[in-house]
Amino acid sequence: MTTRTTAPDLKDLIRDLHDGLDPQEAKARFDFLVDGLSPGEIAVLEEELIREGLPVHEIQNLCDLHVSVMRDVLDQVEDLDPPPGHPVHTALAENRVISQLANRLGELASAWDAEDRESESQEEELREVLDALGGIQSHYLRKEHQLFPFLERHGITGPPKVMWGVHDEIRKQLKATRQALSAGRTPSPTPPGMGTGDTPRSRLPGRAAALARSVSEMVYKENKILFPLAMQTLSREEWAQVRAGDDELGYAFAEPENDFPGPGLSLPVAGASPRGPDSVGPDPEGTAPGMEVRRGDAPNAAGSRTPGTLPSPPRDGLLTLGTGQLTLEQVDQIFRHLPVDLSFVDASGHVRYYSETPERIFPRSPAAIGRHVENCHPPKSVHMVREIVRAFETGERDQAEFWIQMKGRFIHIQYFAVRNPEGEFLGTLEVGQDATHIRGLEGERRLLEWS
């Protein structure tokens, strides 16, 4: 990076943007400060600002403004060309489809008749585009639960938090646009806060246009900042793990064209670019960058095990539990067959286990193992996660309970403080269950009535 001044001046510029500096003046100052800025250096700036107290949501709210000021530099970032089968190759292919959908959505929004005289074919095409665009949920989930955890292991935590918050805003925009389209042509009662003639349907063109812009901006940020940063940071072994987890979570717009690239093809190695600021707190033991997380790994030199591995059974093949003995296989399969999702976060706040059930309620992948629980949730809910864990740690509470409606299902979620007989806090157990069927039960069915 060729600079006329130092990184603190760039941080001051971003702070001034948040304080209302005119974007054109900001761009002029930026052009004077720096001739070239790498994706990694942009990430470091955001990371440091967050650590110095600038709230994540403030950076998120002005994220597009940051990018617009730096766009001339970002436009010069060379397009990535990873080999087929690499997670970024698939993500770039998806982004080409997402961009096409966003562009078409913008065109439909511009052509929409403010007097509600659009044709049925226009309305049907808009519905089809919105339905197709719903596939970004798969694209974003893979980033949140696969790519972000590996970046966090390299100390890059701020940009993923900001981007996750933008994901949630796009999800809200997509939902609102669908609702406006579903409102139909029939006038409905004016909701509180709406003026006369200001109906959900009348807001459709504006919402569709805003959604198209947000989706397109996210594609740009991924292609010019996130993916180059990740390619410079993650090792071959880590990318192989990302690919395995991506396959488990699934795809929407493009499938991988090949298996993960073999060792004969050149890929970046960990440490190819400077690390971001140190991550909050120490890395959990056994989660160093590039380390594989799989069952059956042997203990390391210190005698501890890689998070996610299962301990070797005693010589007699049985594990002695509080009320009996089971083989390791039996314990694992019992957890897999319970009709609930289980996740366990240890006393230090790191994910140590999740159950692999046939139909998971919420997405999980091996990348979650060793991840700090605060990074497993969108920024808007992190404060509540902290409060629950604090109440469990101090002994103020032993349980927290929630329930939500999701895709026609009633989901029951409970958190339990796990303590040993001496009352020492060991961690938090999350139990999620699809309780739709249970809520619908009536009367009784006795054992003798089974058939």
C-beta neighbour count of 221 within 10 angstroms: 22
Examine the pLDDT at 340 and tell me if it is beyond 60: yes
Tell me the per-residue pLDDT of 423-434, one tens digit each, with 9 for 90 and over.
999 999 999 999
Region of residue 396 (phi > 0: left; psi between -120 and 50: alpha; otherwise: beta): alpha
**What's the confidence (pLDDT) of residue 445?**
85
In the chain the first and final C-alpha atoms are separated, in Å, by 73
Rounded to the nearest integer, the mean pLDDT of the chain is 78
63 vs 407 pLDDT, higher one: 407
Q: What's the mean pLDDT in 281-294?
A: 33
Q: What phi and psi values does residue 346 have, to the nearest 5 degrees? A: -75, 180
Tens digit of each residue's pLDDT (9 = 90 or more) over 254-266: 999 999 986 655 5
Q: Which contiguous run of DSSP H or E holds residue 391?
A: helix 379-394
**What are the backbone angles phi and psi of residue 372, rounded to the nearest 5°?**
-70, 140
Q: Which of 206, 263, 273, 204 is CA-nearest to residue 239?
A: 263
Alpha-helical regions (H) of 75-234: 87-111, 120-133, 136-142, 148-153, 158-182, 204-221, 227-233
* Locus of tokens 């070797």: 312
Between CA 282 and CA 286, with CA 283 as vertex, the angle to 5 degrees is 135
> Residue 286 pLDDT > 70, yes or no?
no
49 or 106, which is more confident: 106
DSSP assignment letter at 386: H
- Which tokens in the block code for residue 69? 């000021």
Higher pLDDT, 112 or 233: 233
Strands 351-354 and 341-346: antiparallel
Lowest mean pLDDT among 16-20, 158-162, 257-261, 400-404: 16-20
Other beta carbons less than 10 A from residue 290's beta carbon:
18
3-class DSSP state of 10: helix
Question: Who has greater pLDDT, 107 or 14?
Answer: 107
Amino acid at 91: A
More confident residue, 128 or 64: 128
Residue 243 pLDDT class (50, 70, 90 cuts): very high
Kindly state the average pLDDT of the residues 167-182.
93
CB within 8 Å of 282: residues ≥ 6 apart: none
Number of residues that make up the chain: 451
